[in-house]
Amino acid sequence: MNNYAFIDAQNLYRGIKSLGWKLDWAKFRIYLKDKYRVDTAMVFIGYIPSQQTLYAKLQKAGFILMFKPVIYDTAGNAKGNCDADLVLHTLLEKDNFDKAVIVTSDGDFYSLVKHLYDSGKLAMVLSPYIKTCSKLLKREAKEKINYMDNLEAKVGEK
């Protein structure tokens, strides 16, 4: 199998944070490889120059970073919505992978998940937290959805 993972970084970060623990990205990369046979894992993330340490850590763990320029709202909060980029790259890459793992809880991805499921290309939707996972995602992924709320021992920071 040649599976790819497409990861909504902000959604993953916020979902895990809401559980009260931190993700160990290196352990998560190994988990994706072992559990879902993911050879290529793309992280869709807003680019903030001050976050170079994080970016280096992700790359060292084996992730491909797909950056989106960030803009700032009037309160100074960074906005780097990567949803369209994740969908576009998943569809552009679909002939290069056997199955896709989509890591998000965001219902904006329900059409992508439906398309992948219907075309036999969905390995799994991996949602950070069952309580915040979109009902649309749950409906379209059907039996191909798992949650990370019980994975702290496997992929959490010590």
State the CATH number of the domain containing residue 120.
3.40.50.1010
Give the pLDDT confidence score for residue 135 in this predicted structure.
97
The mean pLDDT value for 37-66 works out to 97
Q: Where are the alpha helices (DSSP H) in the chain?
A: 9-18, 25-36, 52-60, 83-93, 110-118, 135-141, 152-155
- Spatial contact of 145 and 109, defined as CB atoms under 8 Å apart: no
Nearest partner of 46 among 12, 18, 71, judged by Cα: 71
The mean pLDDT value for 135-149 works out to 97
Give the pLDDT confidence score for residue 77 in this predicted structure.
86
The mean pLDDT value for 71-83 works out to 88
With b for 16 or more beta-carbon neighbours within 10 A and e for fewer, the 62-97 pattern comes to: bbeebebebeeeeeeeeebebbebbbebbeeeeeeb
pLDDT in tens, 78-102: 887 899 999 999 999 999 999 999 9
- 118 Cβ contact list (under 8 Å, min separation 6): none
**Spacing of C-alpha 154 from chain mean position:** 17
Q: How many domains does the chain have?
A: 1
Give the pLDDT confidence score for residue 58 in this predicted structure.
98
Q: Please give the residue range of the domain that contains residue 16.
A: 3-155
The mean pLDDT value for 68-74 works out to 91
- Answer whether residue 138 shows pLDDT above 90: yes
Query: Looking at 24-33, 43-52, 76-85, 94-103, which range is the least confident one?
Result: 76-85
Instruction: Give the DSSP H/E element, type plus range, for residue 41.
Output: strand 38-47
Average pLDDT, the chain: 96
State if pTM tops 0.85: yes
Give the pLDDT confidence score for residue 51 in this predicted structure.
94
Nearest partner of 32 among 11, 10, 7, 5, judged by Cα: 5
The mean pLDDT value for 117-138 works out to 97
